[in-house]
């Protein structure tokens, strides 16, 4: 009985680590700044890059694009600079698109509608490797950003995951003592 309890606990620990390692976050593109994926106001043409810089993206996170009479394209760096691509890496025009950030590195998003990218409907997303720690900037005097919805959702996911692990471990211990 003692060895089966240890095996059960070991299984729960390994399973829990796998679950927590795979936790991803969904982001609404332009959340709180725009009404979705649309041409930004003239006074703020870099709204999407500003939004992307305020968030921390990791592998397997998702970007949700909501738009009307538009499209989303993933393009190369040089195509991003030119605001267009004859053969994008990804294209969608359904009005409701979810894109999985499936690797670390930079992703370049542009609108596929003529003129929209030139007016600021484009975005660069930097995706961190799940294993790499966040980089510290040399400027420690920067004011903290109060708009951290994505950090809050990650913290909530971690708390829920930890609580589930605790319930599983306690449940297995109770079952082990009852059997």
What integer best gives the mean pLDDT of the chain? 78
pTM above threshold 0.75: no
Instruction: Provide the pLDDT confidence category of residue 174 given band limits of 50, 70 and 90.
Output: low
User: Pick the residue with more confidence: 74 or 6?
Assistant: 74
Q: Considering the domain boundaries, does residue 135 fall inside one?
A: no
Structural domains in the chain (count): 2
Q: Is residue 165 located within the same domain as residue 94?
A: no
Instruction: Provide the pLDDT confidence category of residue 145 given band limits of 50, 70 and 90.
Output: very low
Query: β-strands 62-66, 26-28: how paired?
Result: parallel
Instruction: Provide the pLDDT confidence category of residue 144 given band limits of 50, 70 and 90.
Output: very low
Mean pLDDT confidence for 130-145: 52
Mean pLDDT confidence for 86-96: 96
Query: How many Å apart are CA 22 and CA 44, to the nearest integer?
Result: 35
Q: Is residue 14 located within the same domain as residue 66?
A: no
Q: Is residue 68 located within the same domain as residue 95?
A: yes
Parent domain of 13: 1-22+147-179
Q: What's the pLDDT score for residue 152?
A: 44
Dihedral angle, C-alpha 56, 160, 31, 128, nearest 10 °: 20
Q: Which two tokens stand for residue 105?
A: 């590195």
Predicted confidence (pLDDT) per residue in 35-75, tens digit: 899 999 888 889 999 999 999 999 999 999 999 999 999 99
Q: Is residue 18 located within the same domain as residue 30?
A: no
Q: Is residue 88 located within the same domain as residue 164?
A: no
- Rounded to whole angstroms, what are the CA distances from 96 to 44, 48, 64, 75, 93? 24, 17, 7, 19, 8
Q: Considering the domain boundaries, does residue 90 fall inside one?
A: yes
Q: What's the pLDDT score for residue 31?
A: 86
Q: Considering the domain boundaries, does residue 134 fall inside one?
A: no
Mean pLDDT confidence for 140-147: 41
Q: Is residue 7 located within the same domain as residue 69?
A: no
Q: What's the pLDDT score for residue 100?
A: 97
What sign has the CA pseudo-torsion 127, 133, 135, 139?
Answer: positive
Q: What's the pLDDT score for residue 130?
A: 72
Q: Considering the domain boundaries, does residue 33 fall inside one?
A: yes
Residues comprising the chain, all counted: 179
User: Pick the residue with more confidence: 164 or 37?
Assistant: 37
Q: Considering the domain boundaries, does residue 170 fall inside one?
A: yes
Q: Considering the domain boundaries, does residue 140 fall inside one?
A: no
Mean pLDDT confidence for 5-14: 53
Q: Is residue 178 located within the same domain as residue 109?
A: no
Burial of residue 139 (CB within 10 Å: 0-12, 13-18, 19+) is: exposed
Query: How many Å apart are CA 63 and CA 57, to the nearest integer?
Result: 9
**DSSP string of 134-174, one letter each residue:** PPPPS-TTSPPPS--HHHHHHHHHHHHHHHHHHHHHHHHHH
Neighbours of 147 (CB within 10 A): 13
Q: Is residue 33 located within the same domain as residue 15?
A: no
Q: Considering the domain boundaries, does residue 155 fall inside one?
A: yes
User: Pick the residue with more confidence: 112 or 3?
Assistant: 112
The least confident of 31-45, 69-83, 110-124, 140-154 is 140-154
Q: Report helix, strand or coil for 75.
A: strand
Q: Is residue 87 located within the same domain as residue 49?
A: yes
Query: How many Å apart are CA 98 and CA 54, to the nearest integer?
Result: 20
Q: Is residue 38 located within the same domain as residue 100?
A: yes
Q: Is residue 4 located within the same domain as residue 17?
A: yes
CATH number at residue 65: 2.60.40.420
Q: Is residue 58 located within the same domain as residue 95?
A: yes
């Amino acid at each position: 009985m003692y060895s089966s309890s240890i095996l059960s606990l070991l299984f729960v620990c390994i399973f829990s680590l796998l679950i927590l390692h795979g936790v991803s976050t969904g982001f609404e593109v332009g959340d709180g700044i725009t009404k979705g994926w649309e041409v930004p106001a003239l006074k703020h043409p870099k709204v999407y890059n500003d939004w992307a810089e305020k968030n921390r993206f990791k592998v397997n996170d998702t970007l949700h694009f909501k738009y009307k009479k538009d499209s989303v394209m993933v393009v190369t760096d040089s195509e991003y600079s030119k605001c267009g691509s004859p053969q994008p890496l990804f294209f969608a025009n359904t009005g409701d698109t979810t894109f999985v950030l499936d690797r670390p590195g930079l992703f370049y998003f542009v609108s596929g509608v003529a003129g929209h990218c030139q007016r600021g409907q484009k975005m660069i997303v930097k995706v961190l490797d799940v294993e790499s720690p966040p980089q510290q900037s040399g400027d420690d005097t920067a004011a903290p950003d109060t708009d951290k919805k994505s950090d809050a959702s990650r913290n909530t996911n971690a708390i829920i995951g930890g609580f589930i692990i605790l319930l599983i471990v306690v449940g297995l211990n109770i079952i082990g003592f009852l059997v």
